[in-house]
Amino acid sequence: MTATAVHTDRLGPLLQRITGDRKHLPSAHSTLDVLWVLYDRVLRITPDTVDAPDRDRFLLSKGHGPAAYYAVLAAKGFFPESWLDDLGGWDSPLGHHPDRVTIPGVEIGTGSLGHGLGLGVGVVLGLRAQGFTRTRTFVLLGDAELDEGSNHEAIAYAAATHLPITAIVIDNQSSTHGWPGGIAARFPGWDVSVVDGRDRDRLERALKPRHDRPNLVVATVERKGS
């Protein structure tokens, strides 16, 4: 029994403590395995390094349904598990969308869709300008979030400038009009892999290698509402 397995088992009870966010519950769980793999196996960030300038960055662009995000951060010790009991409460740092100002370890405040990728591009450029070339930046989006046009400004620019950024799109087929031809076709010039968003070992293999140009990982999960 590894420490990883012990932590994994604890995510279920932690998620159950988050009772306030009924509206977003299905989408919250769509991100669970990706988030766990990132924080457990990929990202160089701990509660002690949340302000280290060279820490790896994880930006949750899809701010909707943050229950899994909160559960993973709590399991990893970024904030006390007791915070999970009062989601959206007046005295709670945890809202239905995450706020970087109130939650340790949260890199950006999101909720309005289509902001994370642009911010992520800026983060990569800012890190590079300061010589933090080992630092990696990951942005997690939802497939419906790609409806927002602002994403496509960032997608095209990252491809044109060979920016080393990793975008993860959780595909639970929640976009109203869908993406005929597949999500990857909307990321021309990016390295692409499509993996089972529930298979942690495959997710790790997709997320761990460094890329010197933009990298897209489409994590496919069950259809929203199924």
User: What is d(CA 9, CA 213) in angstroms, rounded to the nearest whole number?
Assistant: 35
Please check whether residue 147 is in contact with residue 194, taking contact to mean a CB–CB distance below 8 angstroms. Answer: no
Interaction of residue 128 with other proteins, rule CB under 8 A: yes
Does 107 help bind other proteins (rule: CB under 8 A)?
A: yes
Q: Would you count residue 120 as binding other proteins (CB under 8 A)?
A: yes
Q: In this structure, what token pair is assigned to residue 211? A: 């890329």
Residue 157 is a binding residue for other proteins (CB under 8 A):
yes
Q: Give yes or no for residue 119 binding other proteins (CB under 8 A).
A: yes
Distance CA 129, CA 133 (A): 9
CA separation for the pair 153, 194 (Å, rounded): 22
Nearer of residues 17 and 115 to other proteins, judged by Cβ: 115
CB of 3 to other proteins, least distance (A): 31
In the complex, what is the shortest distance from the CB of residue 104 to other proteins, in angstroms, rounded to a whole number?
14
- Residue 209's SS3 state is coil
Site string for other proteins, 51-90 (x = CB under 8 A): --x-------------------------------------
Q: Give the separation between CA 50 and CA 137, rounded to whole angstroms.
A: 14
One-character DSSP codes across 125-181: HHHHHTT-TT--EEEEEETGGGGSTHHHHHHHHHHHTT---EEEEEE-S--SS--TT
Token look-up 């300061």 returns 130
Q: Considering the complex, what minimum distance in angstroms separates the CB of residue 51 from other proteins?
A: 11
**Residue 125 interacting with other proteins (CB under 8 A):** yes
Alpha-carbon torsion angle 150, 151, 157, 160, nearest 10 = -140
One residue of 129, 176, 177, 212 binding other proteins per CB under 8 A: 129
154: contact with other proteins by CB under 8 A:
yes
**Of the candidate residues 71, 75, 103, 124, the single one contacting other proteins (CB under 8 A):** 124
Residue selected from 19, 118, 189, 213 as contacting other proteins according to rule CB under 8 A = 118
Interface with other proteins, residue 109, by CB under 8 A: yes
Selected from 94, 108, 144, 167, the binder of other proteins by CB under 8 A is: 108
Residue 123 is a binding residue for other proteins (CB under 8 A)? yes
Q: What single string gives the DSSP state of each residue in 23-47?
A: TTHHHHHHTHHHHHHIIIII----G
Contact residues toward other proteins (CB under 8 A) are 53, 99-101, 107-109, 112, 115, 117-130, 132, 149-150, 153-154, 156-157, 160
